[in-house]
Amino acid sequence: MKNYKIAVIKGDGIGPEIINEAIKVLEVVAKKFSFTLTFENYLMGGIAYDLTKNPLPDETIEGCLGADAILFGAIGGDKWDNLPRELRPESGLLRLRKSLEVFANFRPTKVYDELLESSPLKKEIIKGVDILVVRELIGGIYFGTPKGREKNRAYNTMVYSVDEIKRIAHIAFEAAQKRNKKLCSVDKANVLDVSQLWREVVNEVAQEYPEVHLSHMYVDNAAMQLIKDPRAFDVILTENLFGDILSDEASMISGSIGLLPSASIGGKSAIYEPIHGSAPDIAGLGIANPIATIASASMMLRYSLQQEKAADCVDYAIQATLKEGYRTKDIASFGAKKICNTQELGSIIAQKILD
């Protein structure tokens, strides 16, 4: 029987609560599809700082490098906000991504019919939305040099090499090929040199994917079009900073931050995590929505473990649970039959896998 080693980072705040539900679901689906999972816990974030004075201990990096995939909860919280930048939980996360060389971040936004009313946008605009944002994750202005602060000025550098653009473009074209074969590359080529290079390289890579329809859009227009007509998009390819902003914008189309998963892939191992943070305001209350983390576990089954049927089964179980009106508090007012706590919703989704 195939066994996979999963490095688990529960992290801070609601991290442990939501990860426990994802593991519950994974154990059930593994049994159903006849494979096994070995979960190994590693410290990271605020809790790692409290216990080891390091937000990303070496042991965690080694454990992640040796795993088939990484399931990640969330890190951070007010308690650690005043630490020097290199000791803050968020620095640990950037270092982990860089150590694993996960250069491609996938953020799907799918609108569940059952939750059409939960979006701030009109349902006629969002019904059927299914977008995948592919964001470059370890380059661009977040990592470029020179960067620094002087007394009266500060600066960062947006820099991309041809190879960095090529590798993320290939990932995005391959994803588009498996979906609706539409790729929109977002840049600011009317102003930025780095965007002009981005556009040229994306056009060159496009020659290898003749069946994918490529378009280009300036980032300011993309921000507008995402709200005006989100159904026009299939796959959006963009660089690190633009992707950070656009993927958060796209996520709100679905209604709750508690619903959306992500995958960071392309490197030595892949990280699967909800798009939200550690939600310290609701930690320990048992009301966190575990769906984003369970959907991240489904992406892990699909992309890292090649267990497509198991992934489909988890996605179906989430949808069936929502269809029957089970909700956590954050999505409570929309067609709710029963308001569940975190554990109850996780158990209902796990049960649906067995039904």
Binding site for ligand NAD (CB under 6 A): 18, 74-77, 90, 93, 257-258, 273, 276-282, 288-289, 292, 330
**What's the number of CA atoms in the CB half-sphere (13 Å) around residue 4?**
22
Using the minimum distance from each CB to ligand NAD, give the nearer residue, 7 or 189.
7
Any catalytic annotation for residue 142? yes
Asked if 274 contacts 293 with a C-beta cutoff of 8 angstroms, the reply is: yes
Q: In the complex, what is the shortest distance from the CB of residue 62 to ligand NAD, in angstroms, rounded to a whole number?
A: 20
Write the DSSP symbol of residue 103: -
Two tokens, residue 280? 């310290």
Q: What are 83's two structure tokens?
A: 């630490």
289 among annotated binding-site residues: yes
Closer residue to ligand NAD (CB): 135 or 188: 135
Give CA separation, 145 vs 84, 190, 233, 238, in Å.
Answer: 20, 23, 33, 20
Catalytic entry in 188, 303, 326, 330: 188
Binding residue per annotation — 20? no
Nearer to ligand NAD, 217 or 317 (CB): 317
Q: Which of 50, 81, 220, 312 is catalytic?
A: 220
Q: Are 320 and 350 in contact (CB under 8 A)?
A: no
Nearer to ligand NAD, 185 or 298 (CB): 298
Q: CA triplet 300, 348, 312: central angle to 5 degrees?
A: 35
- What DSSP designation does 306 have? -
* Nearer residue to ligand NAD within complex by CB, 55 or 266: 55
Q: How far is the CB of 10 from ligand NAD (least distance, A)?
A: 11
Q: Is 220 a catalytic residue?
A: yes
Q: Cβ 63 to ligand NAD, closest distance in Å?
A: 18
Q: What are residue 155's DSSP bridge partners?
A: 148
Residue 14 in marked binding region? no
**Contact present, 181 and 279 (Cβ < 8 Å):** no
The answer to whether 315 is a known catalytic residue is no
Is 279 marked as a binding-site residue? yes
Question: Which residues are within 8 A (CB) of 198 and not within 5 positions of it... i.e. 6 or more apart?
Answer: 160, 165, 185, 187, 189, 239
| 335 belongs to an annotated ligand binding site | no
Catalytic residue among 68, 130, 248, 315: 248
* Contact yes or no for 49/37 (Cβ under 8 A): no
* Annotation says 193 is catalytic: no
Q: Which helix or strand (DSSP H or E) is residue 182 part of?
A: strand 182-187
Active-site choice (142, 160, 272, 303)? 142
Q: Give the nearest distance from C-beta 201 to ligand NAD in angstroms.
A: 29
Based on the residue annotation, tell me whether 81 is a catalytic residue of this protein.
Answer: no
Output the known binding site for Mg(2+): 220, 244, 248
Q: Annotated catalytic sites, by residue?
A: 142, 188, 220, 244, 248
Output the known binding site for NAD(+): 277-289
